[in-house]
Amino acid sequence: MWGFQRVSGLLAAALRSQRVPRARITSKPPEEPVSATEQAIALSVMFSCLLIPSAWVLANLEHYKSRRE
């Protein structure tokens, strides 16, 4: 029982000491607005980075299933 109390005390001390101070971040409106063209380019790049690799895996799924042994 004494060992359990000692370990729990050490764990509590370790958890207490890991407190991180809050960052003082303030947000402001953008200096210049983002145009519709820039938004369209950003969205297309993000979606293509997500969809092209997953489409590649789905297209080659049978190849990945067959293992050479």
Helix ranges, the chain (H)? 2-16, 36-59, 61-65
Rounded CA gap, 33 and 31, in Å? 7
Contact 32, 39 (CB under 8 A): no
Domain ranges of the chain: 36-69
Q: What does the pLDDT look like over 30-67, one tens digit per residue?
A: 889 999 999 999 999 999 999 999 999 999 998 888 87
Do the Cβ atoms of 42 and 50 come closer than 8 Å? no
pLDDT at 23: 78
Quick check: 1 pLDDT over 70?
Answer: no
Read off the tokens for 61: 């799924």
